[in-house]
Structure 1
Amino acid sequence: MYALYYQPFACSYAVHIALEKTGQPFELHKVNLRNGEQQSEAFLALNPQGQVPVLQYADETLTQAGAILLRLSERHPEAALMPEPSSPLRSTALQMLFYISSTLHPAFSMLFYPERIAASARDEVKSKALEKIQLQLSHLERRLGQHTYCAGEQVFAPDYLLLAILNWCRLFQISLSSFPNIKRFLADMNERAEVKKALATELQEMAA
């Protein structure tokens, strides 16, 4: 059975959704990031970086959302988490997965942790982060105007990660009123069965 170490609505949300899509049994272990549980000795033994998600299965321990999503797609090809290797969509899906992980996510990280960049200039860091996010939202708006999802007309793992990260716009009060294609994407994704299951669980955990 899989074991997912997660924080509700962190980027681990994408892995949670993917696990629901596979239909495989899994258990959840909530990590309270606000209380610093990710820096505990027990958690650092799982991931020395002190970050979620962490996925365990048998003798395998994986970190990094993108890597975990790819591994799940390999273990469960029937879930179609990624296009098949022979598909022309494969490279597009990989490109989007890495773009979300290495470009979009770090821009939001600047909002979450401005002190890691410049403790004495938090406001300036946040302002720069918002500029970067607006630039990436414009890029995504254009892309989602050409394709329904990240890699075309079918949902794949990058869409789960994009959903998880775009949800943070609400947290930071970033308006999406100028991005109708992004709003359509979010509404569409939130109607999917696997998303509804993960959403209900994480909302319940937040309220606990």
Structure 2
Amino acid sequence: MKLYYTKGACSVAAHIALEHSGLLFELKEIAKDTPQEQRDRFIKLNSKHKVPTLELSPGSVVTENPAVLMYIASQSKVSIVPSPEELAPHKLIEILSFAASEVHPPFSFLFHPDAYSFDETNVPHIKSVGVKKITNSFSWVESQISGKFYFGDDPSIVDFYLFIFYRWAQVFKIPIEPFQKFKTLFLSVLALDSTHRALTSEGLSHWRRQLEQTPSGSKSTD
């Protein structure tokens, strides 16, 4: 199994999930300086040109974050989704779909504001619209979190997916102070050994410096 990823992108969620799962996998980075031959092979695998792309076997791939995360969960050696008795499968899909359709897309207003207007004077407005959409989606997430993780005391693929959005919000200096439960979720995922391994291999271990700023400075394990 191979995960095609981009450093710091939404594929971080799948990377953490794989590290947490105990499954064997390889990493293939897709970056601006990726040789054209490798890039062409990636495009053949996924004509959408998007990460994450999970190659199960030659020519067989899973794409789109919800599908990739659910596949990893289905193969995982440890539980990273609530049991069907705890949460109906369609409710899990509902939450992942909300993250993919409501939380994720507005960040494109901040990453690529020029894609929404040819007039540079519109960029501040475009960004402000993105921030408003993001904070609105964060408000709903905040209202649903039921513990240090989304579903309580145990991490899941939902947490791994939401994690990256909170981090992006920090990078863009979005006012997220009101979302204290979301902050706890973020720090709880950040403290996992699986997250440490994923971030270290992507060259993002500096993200974990925030743990040193928490009152206890404690770190949890998988």
TM-score range, shorter chain: 0.7 to 0.9
1:127-206 paired onto structure 2 within 5 Å: 127-144=128-145, 146-203=146-203
Tell me if the contact between 1:73 and 1:82 (Cα under 8 Å) persists in the aligned partners. yes
AA aligned opposite 1:26:
F
Tell me if the contact between 2:2 and 2:28 (Cα under 8 Å) persists in the aligned partners. yes
1: CA distance, partners of 2:163 / 2:45: 26
Q: Are residues 106 and 24 of structure 1, via their aligned partners in 2, closer, same or farther at CA, if it must alter by over 3 Å? A: same
Unaligned runs of 5+ in 1: none
**Per-residue displacement from partner, 1:76-133 (whole Å, max 9, x unpaired)?**
3x32122233443544432221111111001112211223333333332211101111
Report the alpha carbon displacement of residue 56 of structure 1 after superposing the two structures with TM.
0.7
> Would you say 1:111 and 2:102 are equivalent positions?
no
SS in structure 2 at match of 1:42: helix
TM-score w.r.t. length of structure 1: 0.85
> Would you say 1:122 and 2:113 are equivalent positions?
no
2: CA distance, partners of 1:104 / 1:195: 21
Q: Are residues 33 and 133 of structure 1, via their aligned partners in 2, closer, same or farther at CA, if it must alter by over 3 Å? A: farther
2: CA distance, partners of 1:70 / 1:139: 22
2: CA distance, partners of 1:119 / 1:5: 32
Q: Are residues 202 and 133 of structure 1, via their aligned partners in 2, closer, same or farther at CA, if it must alter by over 3 Å? A: same
Tell me if the contact between 1:20 and 1:197 (Cα under 8 Å) persists in the aligned partners. yes
2: CA distance, partners of 1:151 / 1:194: 18
> Would you say 1:81 and 2:74 are equivalent positions?
no
1:90-101 paired onto structure 2 within 5 Å: 90-101=89-100
Tell me if the contact between 1:93 and 1:151 (Cα under 8 Å) persists in the aligned partners. no
Q: Are residues 173 and 34 of structure 1, via their aligned partners in 2, closer, same or farther at CA, if it must alter by over 3 Å? A: farther
Q: Are residues 128 and 34 of structure 1, via their aligned partners in 2, closer, same or farther at CA, if it must alter by over 3 Å? A: farther
Q: Point out which structure has higher relative CO (alpha carbons under 8 A, 6+ apart).
A: 1
Tell me if the contact between 1:93 and 1:156 (Cα under 8 Å) persists in the aligned partners. no
2: CA distance, partners of 1:91 / 1:101: 15
1: CA distance, partners of 2:10 / 2:162: 9
CA RMSD of aligned residues (A): 2.5
AA aligned opposite 1:157:
I
Tell me if the contact between 1:7 and 1:33 (Cα under 8 Å) persists in the aligned partners. no
**Aligned-residue identity in percent:** 27
1: CA distance, partners of 2:115 / 2:80: 33
Report the alpha carbon displacement of residue 36 of structure 1 after superposing the two structures with TM.
10
Shift >6 Å, 4+ stretches:
34-37
